[in-house]
Structure 1
Amino acid sequence: MSSNDRIAPVIPLFGGTRGAGPSTGSVEAAPLQPEPRVDDPSDQHDVSAPSEPDADEIRQRAEAALVRRLRAKQLSVSEARSVLRENGLDRNAVEDVVDEFLRRSYLDDHTLASLLVISGSERKGQGRIALARSLAQRGIARDIIDDALAELPDDDAERALDFARSKASGMSRLDYDTALRRLHGQLARRGYGGSVAMDAARTALGEVGVRRASSRPSTAHPSGVRFVDSE
């Protein structure tokens, strides 16, 4: 065999000894085997149980929720407490947050009551009874409600008549008793009660021509005195 016909020696890549002479066959590389993994107890984590938020996190979330609500509309102190309780704060934490918001004037029942009274009387035509009811539904204290109502001028009769006039024209086709009953009911629902509502309804209906068709005949007393039924 000539020198050109000799086969170069094979160098094993994965283990084995280096051959010194010519190779008489092919050499297969042994597959790599992963090293056995030894678990470290310190690497074990329970991912199934999420960590509970602490008190500070709960308070921050509750305050953020309250701020978002206050950006949408002004709340009473009672309504603010409800928002905080809904977001997981206990009683002591609720009072701490409310005190802080009061100190910063984020909450002010006196200002809120005044605004609601002005809006209800001027825009909605509400009387004192309806105004007091709407403020109480917002959780505002009775003494604050009384202070807000005291700022109103004593003109319930005038406001009632203005409201009655705005509704009376739509009742011109009704008979008098039906129109009076409906208009009086609308006035009562807006907080005008008793004689104020009745006087306003009668005046407004009379102005648009809705009157009682006829009065009952007068009756004569045996003494000769005549009595006429009034409305």
Structure 2
Amino acid sequence: MASERSPSAPATPRLRALPDTGTETADVDAADDRRATAEEALVRKLRARSLSVSEARTVLRGHELDAGAVDDVIDDFCRRGYLDDDALASALVTSGVERKGQGRVALSRSLSQRGIPREVIDRALDELPDDDDERALDFARTKARSLSRLDPDTALRRLVGQLARRGYNGAVAMKAAKTALRETTFGSTTSGVRFVDSD
């Protein structure tokens, strides 16, 4: 009996201990590999364009990281300055105004679509001067001349629509469209067409 027990006694603890340790090590290694792969993928995306924290989370979730690992990577990237919703929102607002002539509604919508939190959006929009009327008129002036072949009602309707799509409210869009069309002396002086503000 003693001789039967002695070979099995030492073998049993070793067989139980080794697979457990090996599995834990393998699990840790696999998790580390997944995290490294996810971080590399995120860096590649960030080289192509800036991402919001929400967009970065989506990238990381695609690599089967658990919630804790995702939070760790996000925190690390935020600390390093690779992710910054405030800076991204400010850059998108500047770009939307300067390159696209967007108003506050369109800017807010585009920031929201990028997953930027409402309070960050509000801060970015608060940095804008209160010059929607001026920006709408600047945009309307760039478009008014190309509408000169249209009848007055159609031209006005199209220009107001273009302004509305850029996020200017109805009153601002109408005023800017009428002013821009009037300034381009739409319809020629013989047509008798006049754009009068109803305000």
TM-score category (smaller protein): 0.7 to 0.9
Instruction: Quote the Cα distance in structure 1 between the aligned partners of 2:109 and 2:184.
Output: 32
**Structure with more helix by fraction:** 2
| Letter aligned with residue 106 of structure 1 | Y
Query: Is the contact made by 2:186 and 2:193 (CA closer than 8 Å) also made in structure 1?
Result: no
Q: Which runs of 5+ in 1 are unaligned?
A: 1-50, 216-229
Point out 4+ residue stretches in structure 1 off by more than 6 angstroms: none
2:107 to 131, 135, 140: 131
- Measured against aligned partners, the alpha-carbon deviations of 1:148-178 in whole angstroms (never above 9, x if no partner) come to 0111111110000000000000111111110
1:203 to 170, 179, 183: 179
Aligned counterparts, 1:89-168, within 5 A: 89-168=65-144
Instruction: Quote the Cα distance in structure 2 between the aligned partners of 1:70 and 1:103.
Output: 15
Query: Is the contact made by 1:102 and 1:108 (CA closer than 8 Å) also made in structure 2?
Result: yes
Aligned length: 167
Instruction: Quote the Cα distance in structure 2 between the aligned partners of 1:160 and 1:125.
Output: 7
* Structure 1 vs Structure 2 CA RMSD: 2.0
Name the SS for the 1:87 alignment partner. Answer: coil
| Letter aligned with residue 141 of structure 2 | R
Instruction: Quote the Cα distance in structure 2 between the aligned partners of 1:129 and 1:61.
Output: 38
- Give how far 1:210 is off: 2.4
Query: Is the contact made by 1:168 and 1:204 (CA closer than 8 Å) also made in structure 2?
Result: yes
Instruction: Quote the Cα distance in structure 2 between the aligned partners of 1:61 and 1:173.
Output: 57
TM-score, with structure 1 as normaliser? 0.68
| Letter aligned with residue 47 of structure 2 | R
Instruction: Quote the Cα distance in structure 2 between the aligned partners of 1:128 and 1:89.
Output: 37
Q: Which runs of 5+ in 2 are unaligned?
A: 1-25
| Letter aligned with residue 137 of structure 1 | Q
- The corresponding residue for 2:148 is 172
- The corresponding residue for 1:83 is 59
CA gap 1:214/1:56 in 2 versus in 1, 3 angstroms: closer
Name the SS for the 1:54 alignment partner. Answer: helix
Instruction: Quote the Cα distance in structure 1 between the aligned partners of 2:121 and 2:60.
Output: 24
TM-score, with structure 2 as normaliser? 0.79
- Measured against aligned partners, the alpha-carbon deviations of 1:175-199 in whole angstroms (never above 9, x if no partner) come to 1110000000000000111211000
- The corresponding residue for 1:64 is 40
Aligned counterparts, 1:209-224, within 5 A: 209-210=185-186
Of all paired residues, the percent bearing the same amino acid is 66
Q: Tell which has more relative contact order, 1 or 2 (C-alpha 8 A, sep 6+).
A: 2
Aligned counterparts, 1:3-82, within 5 A: 54-82=30-58
Instruction: Quote the Cα distance in structure 1 between the aligned partners of 2:83 and 2:192.
Output: 56
- Give how far 1:104 is off: 1.3
- Give how far 1:213 is off: 5.2
Larger-gyration structure (1/2): 1
